[in-house]
Amino acid sequence: MKFRLSPEDLWVGRWTRALRHTRAPGLRHGIGHDCAVLASPPPGSDLVFKTDAVVEGVHFLRSTSAPLVGRKALARALSDLAAAGAKPLAALVTAGCPDKKTAVRLQSVYRGFARAARHWRVAIVGGETVRTRQLLLSVSLLGTVPRRQSPHRGGARPGHLLFVTGTLGGSWPHRHLTFTPRLREGQWLARKKIPSAMMDLSDGLGADLPRLARMSGIGFQLHPQKLPLAPGATIRQAVTRGEDYELLFTVPPGQAARLRKTWPFSTRLTEIGVCLTGRSGFQTGGLHLQGYDHLR
Amino acid sequence: MKFRLSPEDLWVGRWTRALRHTRAPGLRHGIGHDCAVLASPPPGSDLVFKTDAVVEGVHFLRSTSAPLVGRKALARALSDLAAAGAKPLAALVTAGCPDKKTAVRLQSVYRGFARAARHWRVAIVGGETVRTRQLLLSVSLLGTVPRRQSPHRGGARPGHLLFVTGTLGGSWPHRHLTFTPRLREGQWLARKKIPSAMMDLSDGLGADLPRLARMSGIGFQLHPQKLPLAPGATIRQAVTRGEDYELLFTVPPGQAARLRKTWPFSTRLTEIGVCLTGRSGFQTGGLHLQGYDHLR
């Protein structure tokens, strides 16, 4: 019998051709095998593990530039790694593909993946394909962080100050596709052991800040007039729009002066409130807290 | 402002309640944080990284028992880890949910995840939710394997013998939901350094054997009459049906006697053919090789 590639294997070959130049240090085997196998990171590291998906009609449109769809899918997952203070190591991509037209489009999506992977030095080492009713891209990321130094959402205490990087409310129409995940800022903050809690803002401050508060068992006072607004954005948009991909973190008051003095980035840094006891609730100066909800 | 959980946070809380009793060794923080953070495995290990998705209408039906959907989603990814000779460490679950009815159903799906995770000793340490047009569950798995001992698809050489575990063609109507991933068998084979190449059979021997051959640059001779048929299955079904989740592996002829003599499992072990040079092509005794294709 003469061997012919199946349609699935043909398409996967076409999509992943763009990924040939992204390589992970210590990669034993990657694309084309059942699993990706990598050398363990050096001792003294913890592993950081994350998965994030983008779906047509929710996170991008049929008319969105295909390479920017790949870029966004990878950058969103990298933003979560930034919040954990982690350095990316390797990624897997799951492509949900409804039809042949989308399969053609996926070639450009993967070129966006490849470019973004080179830029942020993360290798795409495998993945898989499924038939879905709408284009979907799910990225799994593996990263490393110095042992026991990864910030999380649960360490904020009453009296700690609330900070955000960058500006809020400016995700539409373009920035949600072209934002820079705050990897360098997150890694620096974790290394300096400054944040008592940290997360990235993906669903908007109005949805995400209450999540951090709940995991830490605290209340907070938010100063709406202090929010760093993106050009043209209103306070309401800064709270509800989502997709800012900035870092939200809390800092013990004794660390705030050191943070402001040694912050080495051009990225804006703004104090937006203070943590209170859990019983104090959420004090927002009358601002209604709401963000993006995937199941509303 | 009084704090109310958003619908998304409410549902995620309900789904993941079942997972509270699955814990990973060395877990620093898991569900509810931006990323899962785990202690690195001991030196001398490689990391194994895999992602696998199941979709309603493709891998299960609306009428399929919900806990079995969760079980299948996890077991499929574990089957890939088995092919890499790996031990599972931790998993992330991405749930694509179209509507409230499905959100209710997902509570039972997660109970299936929790039961399967306990059974196979893998902790589900995080994940996420997206709005999709059909129910979709994507599982990301992290595992470990002794350094440089993970088999892959590229090591088969002419003269090596082809083996499969278990029986083929019996996936429908039930076994595709209740199969046992061959973790113990895969780990044993890797530890004994017996396979020159190994993979799991998910799309059927007709689709998967050519993939192994292509990655190894070999041809093969398949003996259709030697295929271990599941009760009631025809040779054609054993080749094309898919979802067997058995191990397919190649063994240098000098190792075959040792394999047969020391195989410690009740799982059936069958020699089904031999590897040839790439130029010899695929010799199948007239049998047409075809398997499941996700993009046909």
Q: Report pLDDT digits (tens) over B102-112.
A: 999 999 999 99
Residues 6+ apart with CB under 8 A from B18: B107, B110, B111, B113, B114
CB A125 within 8 A of CB A24: yes
pLDDT band of B1, cuts 50, 70, 90 = very low
Measure the CA angle with vertex A12, ends A7 and A17; round to 5°. 130
Q: Which pLDDT tens digit goes with each residue over A23-51?
A: 778 899 999 888 999 999 988 999 999 99
Domain with CATH 3.90.650.10 in chain A: 161-283
Of A130, A150, A215, the CB nearest to B55: A130
Q: Supply the pTM of this predicted model.
A: 0.94
Q: Which pLDDT tens digit goes with each residue over A141-179?
A: 999 999 999 999 999 999 999 999 999 999 999 999 999
Please report residues of B whose CB lies closer than 8 A to that of A50: 34-36, 92, 126
- Does A35 contact B2 at a Cβ distance shorter than 8 Å? no
Burial A112-132 (b: 16+ CB within 10 A, else e): bbbbbbeebebbbbbbbbbbb
ipTM: 0.92
- Does A51 contact B8 at a Cβ distance shorter than 8 Å? no
The yes-or-no verdict on residue A1 having pLDDT over 60 is no
Please confirm whether the linkage preceding B252 is cis (ω < 30° from 0).
no
The residue behind tokens 């699935």 is A8
Please report residues of A whose CB lies closer than 8 A to that of B190: none
Burial A236-254 (b: 16+ CB within 10 A, else e): ebbbbbbbbbbbbbbbbee
What is the CA B271 to chain-centroid distance, rounded? 21
Q: Rounded distance, CA A258 to CA A252, Å?
A: 11
Q: Which pLDDT tens digit goes with each residue over B216-259?
A: 999 999 999 999 999 999 999 999 999 999 999 999 999 999 99
- Does A55 contact B132 at a Cβ distance shorter than 8 Å? yes
DSSP structure class, residue A196: S
Q: Suggest the residue from B37, B87, B284, B287 to mutate for an interface test with chain A (most A CBs closer than 10 A).
A: B37
- Does B43 contact A38 at a Cβ distance shorter than 8 Å? no
Predicted local distance difference test score (pLDDT) of residue B3: 52
Predicted local distance difference test score (pLDDT) of residue A295: 67
- Does A35 contact B81 at a Cβ distance shorter than 8 Å? yes
Domain with CATH 3.30.1330.10 in chain B: 7-146
Residue of A nearest to B37 (CA): A48
- Does B294 contact A130 at a Cβ distance shorter than 8 Å? yes
Predicted local distance difference test score (pLDDT) of residue A43: 86
Residue of A nearest to B293 (CA): A8
- Does A281 contact B1 at a Cβ distance shorter than 8 Å? yes
Lookup: tokens for B45: 């290990």
CB A293 within 8 A of CB A207: yes
Q: Suggest the residue from A11, A12, A27, A49 to mutate for an interface test with chain B (most B CBs closer than 10 A).
A: A49
CB A112 within 8 A of CB A71: yes
Q: Rounded distance, CA A188 to CA A83, Å?
A: 11
Q: Which pLDDT tens digit goes with each residue over B69-99?
A: 999 999 999 999 999 999 999 999 999 999 9
Over its C-alpha atoms, chain A yields an Rg (Å, rounded) of 20
DSSP structure class, residue B223: -
Interface contacts A/B by beta carbons within 8 Å: 279
CB B84 within 8 A of CB B186: yes
The yes-or-no verdict on residue A2 having pLDDT over 60 is no
Burial A270-279 (b: 16+ CB within 10 A, else e): bbbbbbbeee
Q: How many CA atoms lie within 13 A of B186 on its CB side?
A: 32
Distance from CA of B166 to the nearest CA of A (A): 19
- Does domain A7-146 bear CATH number 3.20.20.150? no
DSSP structure class, residue B284: -
The residue behind tokens 């997709």 is A243
The yes-or-no verdict on residue A290 having pLDDT over 80 is no
The residue behind tokens 């440089």 is B148
Classified by CATH at the fold level, domain B161-283 comes out as Phosphoribosyl-aminoimidazole Synthetase; Chain A, domain 2 (3.90.650)
